[in-house]
């Protein structure tokens, strides 16, 4: 017996059963009594509660995130904490390292700790585990574009559009050889980046040689990649990295080999940080509104928890757009400090 079956027997939605359990004051008396009677008849008690239907919310949400080392993830955390704090919710963290088994373990742990809902970043859960969360009536929001269940609530950045705009910028500057350095462990994001790159290439109007490679999302990953390109004498006209950390490593490797940026190789990043604007040359990058992403996800989750946004009736998508911050590292010659496209 699970919450979905109780909803079917009572003739109501899973969201209504969840509200009866978590926020009974938000449900009409007649409906609440009917649902409670069905639950009593079938001896149903949600397994993350003590043996009572009258316990209040734990005022705690969980955030499962691949890592905390990048500015992107740090800003998501900041955004989630900002909204949660304003609504008097505590946040429990779990670092999944993009490992499905580790993420599943954290999900079980958070359910046992009676969290009111879960935000998952770049979730790698399998369908069975996602369905089990839904059947428990546990509110969840996924930061990422891959939809596991048809009615998932998604909150994500339009990475494909960002990669498209970055590639168009490089083509407009005259670069005819472009290489993309993607992350080893984030296939969903890499797919979106590749899609944006190829859309731009198809619309170029002339031949642009494109290649791609993968590296860990770190300064070391960028450094070793450029080292290998130097040794193989295959330096591209422009290198686009998945992250600013990779770009910093790439810039260091180029400088060590006396390769000038942007004269010998243009360099750009698909994530921005405070460091990018003070590098020499300043790094062209995509500004990703990652703090706003975290804030939006937290708002959507808390709306589910408090019964404002029903999460089972239909999918909800919130899409945020990145901005291209054009600086000096790709060969732009206009007189500017920093500007958006």
Looking at the predicted structure, is the pLDDT value of residue 128 above 90? no
Pairing between β-strand 177-183 and β-strand 153-157 as defined by DSSP bridges? unpaired
Taking only the tens place, the pLDDT of each residue in 221-276 is 999 999 999 999 999 999 999 999 999 999 999 999 999 999 999 999 999 998 99
pLDDT at res. 186: 63
pLDDT at res. 280: 93
Mean pLDDT of the chain: 87
Predicted model pTM: 0.71
Show the tokens assigned to 246.
């990779």
| Dist. CA 66–CA 126, nearest whole Å | 16
Looking at the predicted structure, is the pLDDT value of residue 54 above 60? no
pLDDT at res. 51: 38
**2 vs 157, which has greater pLDDT?**
157
Structural domains present in the chain: 1-56 (1.10.260.40), 63-158+294-320 (3.40.50.2300), 159-289+324-340 (3.40.50.2300)
User: 239: Cβ–Cβ under 8 A, 6 or more apart, which residues?
Assistant: 178, 179, 181, 226, 250, 265, 266, 267, 268
In this prediction, residue 32 has a pLDDT band, given cuts at 50, 70 and 90, of confident
Lowest mean pLDDT among 48-57, 133-142, 211-220, 309-318: 48-57
Q: Rounded mean pLDDT of 1-7?
A: 83
Taking only the tens place, the pLDDT of each residue in 74-117 is 999 999 999 999 888 999 999 998 899 999 999 999 988 989 99
Looking at the predicted structure, is the pLDDT value of residue 278 above 90? yes
- The H-assigned helical ranges of the chain are 3-10, 14-22, 29-41, 71-86, 100-112, 127-135, 159-172, 187-202, 219-231, 244-256, 290-305
Q: Rounded mean pLDDT of 47-51?
A: 44
In this prediction, residue 21 has a pLDDT band, given cuts at 50, 70 and 90, of confident
What is the C-alpha radius of gyration for the chain, rounded to an integer number of angstroms? 24
Q: Please state, as a whole number, how many other Cβ atoms lie within 10 Å of the Cβ of residue 228.
A: 13
Q: Output the DSSP codes for 184-237.
A: SS-HHHHHHHHHHHHHHHHTSSS--EEEEEEE-SSHHHHHHHHHHHHHTT---S
Would you say 64 and 107 are in contact if contact means Cβ atoms under 8 Å apart? Answer: yes
Highest mean pLDDT among 131-135, 148-152, 188-192, 206-210: 206-210
């Amino acid at each position: 017996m699970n919450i979905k079956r109780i909803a079917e027997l009572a003739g109501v939605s899973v969201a209504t059963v969840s509200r009866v359990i978590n926020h009974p004051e938000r449900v009409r008396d007649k409906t609440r009594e009917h649902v409670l009677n069905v639950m009593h008849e079938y001896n149903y008690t949600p397994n993350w509660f003590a043996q009572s239907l009258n316990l209040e919310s734990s005022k705690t949400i969980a955030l499962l995130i691949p890592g905390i080392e990048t500015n992107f993830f740090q800003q998501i955390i900041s955004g989630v904490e900002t909204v949660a704090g304003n609504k008097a919710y505590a946040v429990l963290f779990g670092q999944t390292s993009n490992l499905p088994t580790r993420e599943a373990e954290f999900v079980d742990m958070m359910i046992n700790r009676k969290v009111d809902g879960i935000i998952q970043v770049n979730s790698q859960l399998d369908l069975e585990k996602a369905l089990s969360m839904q059947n428990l009536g546990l509110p969840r929001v996924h930061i990422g574009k891959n939809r596991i269940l048809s009615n998932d609530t998604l909150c994500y950045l339009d990475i494909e559009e960002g990669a498209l705009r970055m590639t168009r910028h490089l083509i407009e500057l005259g670069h005819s050889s472009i290489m993309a350095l993607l992350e080893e462990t984030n296939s969903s994001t890499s797919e979106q980046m590749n899609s944006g790159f190829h859309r731009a290439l198809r619309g170029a109007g002339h031949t642009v040689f494109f290649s791609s490679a993968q590296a860990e999302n770190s300064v070391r990953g960028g450094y070793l990649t450029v080292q290998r390109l130097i040794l193989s004498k295959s330096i591209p006209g422009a290198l686009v990295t998945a992250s600013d950390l990779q770009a910093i490593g790439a810039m260091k490797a180029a400088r060590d080999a006396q390769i000038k940026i942007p004269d010998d190789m243009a360099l750009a990043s698909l994530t921005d940080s405070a460091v990018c604007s003070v590098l020499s040359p300043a790094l062209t990058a995509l500004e990703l509104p990652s703090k706003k992403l975290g804030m939006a996800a937290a708002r959507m989750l808390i709306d589910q928890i408090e019964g404002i946004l029903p999460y089972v009736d239909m999918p909800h998508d919130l899409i945020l757009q990145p901005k291209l911050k054009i600086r000096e590292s790709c060969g732009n010659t206009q007189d500017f400090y920093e500007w958006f496209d």
